[in-house]
Chains A and B, each alone.
Chain A
Amino acid sequence: MPEAVPQFSLTDQAGKSHMLLGDRPALVCFVKEDCPTCGLTMPLIERAYRAFGTRADVVAVGQDAPGNALMIERHGLSVPMLDDSALGVSYSHDVEIVPTIVMTGADGAELSRFEGFGKSDWQRIYAELARTTGLPEPRTEWEAFPESRPGCGSKSVEPGIAERLAAEASGSRLRARQIEIGAAEDEFEFMFERGLTDGLPVIPPTPERVIRMLAGTRRDPQEVIATVPPNMAPLTIEKVAANAVMAGCRPEYIPVVLAVLEAICTDEFNIHGVLATTAGATPVIVVNGPIRHRLGMNMKIAAMGSGNRANATIGRAVKLVLRNVGGARPGEIERSALGGPGKYTTCYPEWEERSPWEPMHVERGFERGDSVVTIFGLEPGPRLIVDQLSRTAHALAGSLGMGLEACWHPKLHHSGDVLLVVSPEHADTLARDGWSKADVRRRIQEVTARPIRELLPDSESGEGMALARFGLKNPTAEQLEQRIPKFHSPENINIIVAGGEAGKFSAVFGGWFSGKMGSISVSRKIEEVA
């Protein structure tokens, strides 16, 4: 059963409305003036109209009004030249090339279509119209025409226009409510006033831009990918796309944003707690795999910011979704006492190629060729650990450990996840002595191990660990000498390599509250869209 062609109503050069009702054979010819192949075709369209126009609808559909007038004059046309300068009919007929010649039967169903110029196609069309109308074919000096000529791009698929038409089409993929911004209002100010931004300007998510963003994924825009705390709002891909536009993402970034949101809107990750804590944590996103290169992410100089679009906007898109869809706004549910710059965005790739070790995603069971996001609920910003003097792995890992001991508070041991970002120069020092990540972790635990007595609250520092944490009530002197390493487990020290080639500085993202009662880091494979 041939597919019925959408019917339409357009106005011709005389202002007369033409409605294609699909009640008799029709020849619909999409053309534009600046296309030479359309110029070559116009005389054949005119002839078809004169020969068959009494019993078939023969029309030209021109894509811009001034061009249509020029074509009428140039070719002495009497065929109705319908004005489709709004391009809606071209779009709904899936016209990508002009000329596109569509023939429909008496039932309105499309019988044939071809693009560009083909002499044999036109001979077939004349024969078919002669057969269905019972009228004679027009006399045509076919030898004057070439065998074939390629067409030109339709105006309806020009950049910017295609997205507008898609947004306007009744079958639009967008379902979200749309908000009109008055001509007298500044659209950027409007976004601020409605509380939609993180304090920095956002790109207004017009339907055109959202449609363009959706081209970055094959998934259905209406698919609900998560329920976003704190409001427990259902999150569609369309909503993600709108916020990704606002954040400044390119369409190819959206698979990463989706993977992050799917990973963090889980009981394990507990994004509600990460955002609501008065301590101040944020989703810290690590990207691994080939996608880092495809998106042009920065894993080298200033990897932690600023200056790279993908690094900056992927993390920002995630935060805008949490704010706008989840309702996590500072001062409301987001209640960090101090906040931090990382709350705007925190997303970095690992420089796997520069690392002497397995990259983070491989450690976590993925293939090296997989693209993966791993997210931690950590402090919103890195702090440096300086060591310009160590020349052995033993000494450097010791330094890193001492730096890590300051996380939370030096007297708070037995603690959870941190993210240690080892710079290339430090990685070289560790690799020269053949140290693995496990060696580095072991040394950090060793160098930070302190006797319980040093970790108890005292008059010098009221912070510290309660004896009950160690199952002690009236400890003996010997029990107080038991040494407690900084981290609950060596695996709490998550390690990646990133940063500039020069500079003996590593960095740490301090932790929040990891584990079942807090936030468990989550890894997720990214949907690859080639």
Chain B
Amino acid sequence: MSRIVDPTDERVPIRRSLAARPARIGGTIALLDIAKPRGDMLIARIEERLAERFPGTTFKRYRKPTFAKPAPEELLRKIAAENDFVIEALAD
């Protein structure tokens, strides 16, 4: 991670554009547990409901080492490479 001093007048908020919205839900969905307590329960329930609504969809589980830090770059790359969608579960 490197940092730069913003060379602009700072009137434009720092914002990344969203990826284009897919036409339909399907393919492979990543379920990312950020390692908060009971996040796994929430993830399990989401998977159950989505599997009913979107038969034929594949689910892949991922977990961050700790919720206190951003996900490692390697994990983000892996999720992006292996999936069509990602759902990140916050819980407590």
Do B9 and A233 touch (CB < 8 A)? Answer: yes
Q: Which A residues are CB-close (under 8 A) to B1?
A: 180-183
Q: What is the chain B residue whose CB lies nearest that of A234? A: B9
B23 interface hit (Cβ, 8 Å): no
Of all chain B residues, the one with the shortest Cβ separation from A184 is B73
B49 within 8 A of A: no
A67 part of interface (Cβ distance < 8 Å): no
A/B pair count, beta carbons within 8 Å: 73
In contact, B2 and A242 (Cβ under 8 angstroms):
no
Given the interface pairs A179-B14, A182-B73, A184-B77, the reply to whether A206 lies near B7 with Cβ below 8 Å is no
> Which of B3, B9, B77 is within 8 Å of A179, CB to CB?
B3
State the Cβ distance, A192 to closest chain B Cβ, in Å: 13
Are B11 and A178 within 8 A (Cβ)?
Answer: no
Task: Please report which residues of chain A, range 172-211, place their CB below 8 angstroms from some CB of chain B when the two chains form the complex.
Answer: 174, 176-184, 187, 191, 196, 204-207, 210
Please tell me if the beta carbons of A243 and B76 are within 8 angstroms of each other in the complex: no
Q: Is A238 an interface residue (CB 8 A)?
A: yes
CB contacts under 8 Å to B, within A234-274, are 234, 238-239, 241-243, 246
Q: Mark B1-41, 1 if CB is under 8 A from A, else 0.
A: 11111111111001000000000000000000000000000
Partner of B4, one of A204, A238, A327: A204
Select from chain B the residue with minimum beta-carbon distance to A210.
B5
CB within 8 Å for A180 and B5 given contacts A231-B11, A233-B11 = no
Residues of B within 8 A of A326 (CB): 9
| Cβ of A325 under 8 Å from chain B | yes
Q: Looking across the interface, which residue of chain B has its beta carbon closest to that of A213?
A: B5
Within 8 A of A (CB), among B25-83: 73, 76-77
Interface residue? A320 (CB, 8 A)? yes
Chain B CB within 8 A of A324 CB: yes
Q: How far is the CA of A204 from the CA of B4 in the complex (A)?
A: 6
In the complex, are the beta carbons of B5 and A207 less than 8 A apart? yes
Q: A234 to B11: give the CA distance in the assembly, Å.
A: 11
Point out the residues of chain A lying under 8 angstroms from B4, CB to CB: 178-179, 181, 187, 191, 204-207, 242
Are A205 and B5 neighbours in the complex by a CB distance under 8 Å?
yes
- Contact call A246/B9, Cβ cutoff below 8 A: no
**A183→B8 contact, CB < 8 A:** no
Partner of A204, one of B2, B8, B10: B2
Instruction: With A179-B14, A182-B73, A184-B73 as known contacts, state yes or no: A243 contacts B2, CB within 8 Å.
Output: no
Q: How many residues of B contact A (CB 8 A)?
A: 15
B52 to chain A, nearest CB (A): 35
Min distance, Cβ A478 to any Cβ of chain B, angstroms? 58
Interface residue total, chain A, C-beta cutoff 8 A:
33
Cα distance, A205 to B4, chains bound together (Å) = 5
B70 to chain A, nearest CB (A): 9
Which residues of A494-511 are within 8 A (CB) of B? none
**Known contacts A183-B73, A184-B76; is A177 also within 8 Å of B9 by CB?**
no
A178 to B6 CA separation, bound complex (whole angstroms) = 5
| CB <8 Å contact, A179 and B6 | yes
Q: How far is the CB of A272 from chain B (nearest CB, A)?
A: 15
Q: A493 CB to closest chain B CB, in angstroms?
A: 37
Return the contact of A176 from the options B5, B73, B76, B77 (Cβ within 8 A): B5
Give Cα distance in the complex from A182 to B1, angstroms: 5
Contact in complex: B2, A178 (CB < 8 Å): no
- Chain B residues with CB under 8 A of A206: 2-5
Give the chain B neighbours of A184 by CB distance below 8 A.
73, 76-77
Known: A177-B14, A182-B73. A238 touches B8 (CB 8 A): no
Cα A325 to Cα B5 with chains together (Å): 13
With contact pairs A233-B11, A325-B9, A327-B9 given, residues A181 and B3 touching in the complex (Cβ less than 8 Å): yes
Q: Is the CB of B5 within 8 A of A174?
A: yes
Rounded to whole angstroms, the CA-CA distance of A205 and B8 in the bound complex is 11
Question: Is B3 a contact of A180 with CB atoms below 8 Å?
Answer: yes
A328 to chain B, nearest CB (A): 11
Please report the C-alpha to C-alpha distance between residue A228 and residue B10 in the assembled complex, in whole angstroms: 13
> Cβ of B3 and Cβ of A207 under 8 Å apart?
yes
The distance in angstroms between the C-alpha atoms of A234 and B7, with both chains bound, is 12
Bound Cα distance A115, B20 (Å)? 62
Write the nearest CB–CB distance from A245 to chain B, whole angstroms: 8
Minimum CB–CB distance for A378 against chain B, Å: 26
B6 contact set on A, CB distance < 8 A: 176-179, 242
Complex Cα spacing A206 to B3, Å? 6
Q: Which residues of A contact B7 (CB under 8 A)?
A: 196, 205, 239, 242-243, 246, 320, 324-325
In the assembled complex, how far is the CB of residue A509 from the closest CB belonging to chain B, in whole angstroms?
Answer: 28
> How far apart are A247's CB and chain B's nearest CB, in angstroms?
10
| Contact (Cβ within 8 A) A196 B2 | no
Cβ-defined contact, A196 with B8, below 8 A: yes
**A386 to chain B: closest CB distance in Å?**
41
Chain B residues positioned under 8 Å from A228 (CB to CB): 9
Q: Which residues of A, 457-478, contact B by the 8 Å Cβ criterion?
A: none
Known contacts A182-B73, A184-B76, A184-B77; is-contact A242 B5 (Cβ 8 Å)? yes
Closest CB-CB distance, A164 to chain B, in whole Å? 11
Contacts of A196 in B (CB 8 A): 7-8
Min C-beta distance of B17 to chain A, whole Å: 10
**5 residue pairs, one from A and one from B, having the closest CB atoms:** A233-B9, A242-B7, A177-B6, A242-B5, A324-B7
Can you give 17 A-B contacts (C-beta < 8 A)?
A176-B6, A179-B4, A184-B76, A191-B4, A204-B4, A206-B2, A206-B3, A206-B5, A207-B3, A207-B4, A207-B5, A228-B9, A234-B9, A238-B5, A239-B7, A239-B9, A246-B7
Measured CB to CB, the residues of B under 8 A from A are 1-11, 14, 73, 76-77
Using A179-B14, A241-B5 as known contacts, list a sample of 7 further A-B pairs with CB atoms less than 8 Å apart, ordered by residue number in A. Answer: A176-B6, A181-B2, A187-B2, A233-B11, A239-B9, A242-B5, A324-B8
